[in-house]
């Protein structure tokens, strides 16, 4: 046996014991939650709502740090490059897998992270101006085929709002033209005026216009009907079985977190999410509180990565291009 091999075998038990000791002592200092987006969004609100009950459970302060930029890439990279000891977490959104379709990333979306739990899901809604002819997804597909390839336009603001209509068109067998906007507030006036035809937007963003009568909802994109729009069918009900496109929140950490640390963090986060005031606050935002095991969370991200990557490729989007 070589000297190097013998040294490795002798060192392994010591490293294992050190890892166990660290997990037993965890946490030894404040646990920061990095939110890679600007303050005020659902991810930021979720992080701040769970921070206090997490601190009470774990016996350490849980500060929230906003590190926005590059659609979440900058803050997420902070998490990826943090020590794998559980004292730095991130609260990311669907942008985490979607960004792989748009950017050359400084990290690997799967390999460089530990996945703890989903936190929220918020469905999208397919909307159009009141004067737009089609009233259902099936009628929209018929209209798109009748007027010809690319004649139906969709407003998009990047990320999943950009890719959801691409996924819809791909599965429905139609072609539509993308009209980019910097945000919903810029996209809605043209949509209402009929200068663009349709848009997939978050329910909270579109709901005031739906309730005010300037936009109509053709379908929502969650696994179940949105509580705010109970009479609006899901896309899976209306036309495309299995179709789902939601924004969501998720807690991640750097890769190679010790399993005992993962388990302790997971328990504290889930307990915080289940508090009635946390559920109620998210419901008011149009978001559903959810949670998942670490294994389910990793599988979910992998499926999202594949789904949105395929949608991007079908639209000719290559990493390094703007959304």
Q: What is the DSSP string of 31-87?
A: -EEEE-S-TTSHHHHHHHHHHHHHHHHHTS---EEE---GGGHHHHHHHHTS-SSSS
Q: Which residue's entry shows tokens 């659902």? A: 42
Tokens describing residue 275: 């508090």
User: What pTM does this model have?
Assistant: 0.88
Contact 212, 224 (CB under 8 A): no
Equal CATH topology for 30-122+246-314 and 123-238: yes
Instruction: For residue 77, give the nearest of 98, 101, 68 by alpha carbon.
Output: 68
Instruction: For residue 168, give the nearest of 311, 23, 16 by alpha carbon.
Output: 311
**How far apart are the two ends of the chain, measured CA to CA in Å?**
55
Tokens describing residue 315: 């639209």
Summarised one tens digit per residue, pLDDT across range 258-287 is: 999 999 999 999 999 999 999 999 999 889
- Strand-pairing partners, residue 126, are 200, 219
Tokens describing residue 123: 């469905």
Domain definitions of the chain by residue range: 30-122+246-314, 123-238
Class of domain 123-238: alpha beta
Residues in contact with 170: Cβ distance below 8 Å, sequence separation at least 6, in sequence order = 310, 311, 314
Q: In whole angstroms, how far apart are CA 3 and each of 11, 13, 14, 108?
A: 12, 17, 17, 34
Summarised one tens digit per residue, pLDDT across range 211-261 is: 999 999 999 999 999 999 999 999 999 999 999 999 999 999 999 999 999
Summarised one tens digit per residue, pLDDT across range 100-140 is: 999 999 999 999 999 999 999 999 999 999 999 999 999 99
Distance from C-alpha of 17 to C-alpha of 142, rounded to nearest angstrom: 64
Residues in contact with 29: Cβ distance below 8 Å, sequence separation at least 6, in sequence order = 60, 87
Q: What is the CATH number of domain 30-122+246-314?
A: 3.40.190.150
């Amino acid at each position: 046996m070589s000297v190097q091999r013998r040294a490795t075998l002798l060192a392994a038990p010591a490293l294992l014991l050190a890892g166990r000791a660290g997990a037993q002592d965890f946490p030894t200092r404040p646990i920061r939650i990095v939110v890679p987006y600007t303050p005020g969004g659902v991810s930021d609100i979720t992080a701040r709502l769970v921070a206090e009950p997490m601190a009470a459970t774990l016996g350490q302060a849980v500060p929230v740090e906003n590190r926005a930029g590059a659609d979440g890439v900058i803050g997420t990279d902070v998490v990826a490059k943090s020590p794998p000891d559980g004292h730095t977490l991130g609260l990311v959104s669907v942008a985490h897998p979607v960004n792989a379709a748009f950017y050359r990333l400084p990290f690997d979306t799967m390999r460089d992270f530990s996945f703890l739990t989903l936190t929220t899901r918020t469905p999208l809604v397919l909307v159009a101006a009141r004067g737009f002819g089609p009233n259902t997804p099936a009628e929209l597909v018929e209209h798109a085929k009748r007027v010809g390839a690319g004649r139906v336009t969709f407003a998009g603001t990047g990320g999943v709002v950009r890719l959801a209509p691409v996924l819809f068109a791909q599965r429905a067998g139609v072609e539509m033209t993308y009209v980019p906007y910097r945000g919903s507030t810029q996209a809605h006036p043209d949509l209402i005026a009929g200068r663009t035809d349709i848009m997939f937007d978050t329910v909270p963003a579109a709901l005031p216009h739906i309730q005010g009568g300037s936009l109509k909802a053709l379908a929502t994109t969650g696994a179940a009907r949105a509580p705010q729009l109970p009479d609006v069918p899901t896309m899976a009900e209306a036309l495309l079985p299995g179709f789902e496109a939601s924004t969501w929140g998720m807690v991640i950490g750097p890769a190679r977190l010790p399993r005992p640390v993962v388990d302790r963090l997971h328990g504290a986060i889930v307990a915080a999410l289940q508090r009635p005031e946390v559920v109620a606050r998210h419901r008011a935002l149009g978001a559903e509180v959810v949670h998942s095991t670490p294994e389910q969370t990793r599988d979910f991200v992998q499926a999202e990565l594949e789904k949105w990557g395929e949608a991007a490729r079908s639209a000719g989007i290559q990493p390094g291009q703007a959304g």
